[in-house]
Structure 1
């Protein structure tokens, strides 16, 4: 199995250096490759060259017997397909047996989003006289006002904001950069936080981080820190809804499309490489359009 572990480490290094994959993606790939290696061991397969279509079918059967979702099975197959593509490129194998296996079709879930009145409650609970309250308000306004991913938000630096033209430089996946505009509410919240709250938080830190959003000790705010902040804001607002950082991104896209924004423009703002990633929000807006039709057309409910 030593040779297998060596190939795995080279694959993970390739993902990190050449594909610029996130640490979370690399963790998932490592876990999935290890699971397949364990399966190979139980089946008495010692070499990656011995893996063939019948063996993969047995592997698939075991995955389904574990009651895994189609999405989980699809992810594992996609991982192994990428692993063997890498091995083929490196000349370790002559073909990719996973190319013969069809990925299970997934039913795309409709993204959760906040209704506008729910957001208003969230925006009203932060103490704007307190440094952390100012930070929380700026965080909420920026994430909802731009549709940024939480990872993009915590990586933002003060110098990335251009108040003169009202845009922010966003560093997205794969080192891709985009400029996203923000509105007056976000501008006011950001200026208040940068000129007041952030200055106070910086006094607690010796490191003087360049990141825009800081934690209570003056260090750079983490992804997990954002999740905890949102949980506390929901609790403070006495709301019973589920919340996660991506829900603000979903809300941004849904509300933009509901107000007539062009799908291509929303794709650009979100930083989606493919339009299909943005089209999932049209399922939500179709429900909105149906409601407008039922409420407005004189013969809709007859």
Structure 2
């Protein structure tokens, strides 16, 4: 069986398999750890494994390589990328800073290593509010996600100027989707991701990162939930909460790049230790500063 081959190769290679919450269910099943991108990268840095098999998209594997430069990081799905991360380049960001001198740059971790290297500090979907509050500057350039930046702006009096990037999965949700799902499941608690549009967030019972959704699902007395994030998250939620029901806000909420990982590709990655993900040290060093500044908060 494929799963047996993967477990054997993992032991032989002294590898750890990481799977993002949006990965296919069968990939999550063979993973040692699953979670959000930064959560996984931090965990990988603590592991004694020599090889990190990162089942996700490019910026996630880059972050793991930045935080674990002594380890070999392999991403099974070559070419799996984040469209939102591709919406801004390092050159774009340098121009954005020139247009807004004196502003601090907060970079969502869903971004390339080159963009992180041009930023003052990184943030996640869970800690964006705290990161912005930690800054002395009164004007903040928030890249690349406009929706997350708008959500963070609700909790600060600082001026936040957002880049016009977005996650196509979350940006696609509409208030009509919420109304339709609530009509079908009137007792369900509505949880949405902060990458959603403001008008969708306004209709939710709670706004959480994927890790936050996992915690809320366990702690909430509710027995039914409507989940406003990529459909892969429902696999984890259902597995961790037997007896509770989870419904996607929309069945169309699928990240095609996240679904490029297959068990065959995981096995191949363990056999060949390719495709390897590396980040040049001159970029990694500066990106690491922005990430570690966030982690120190």
TM-score category of the 2 structures, normalised to the smaller one: under 0.3
Q: Which of these two proteins has the greater Rg computed from alpha carbons?
A: 1
Which structure: greater helix fraction? 1
The TM-score, its normalising length taken from structure 2, stands at 0.25
Which structure: greater strand fraction? 2
The TM-score, its normalising length taken from structure 1, stands at 0.25
Q: Which has the higher contact order (CA 8 A, sep 6+)?
A: 2
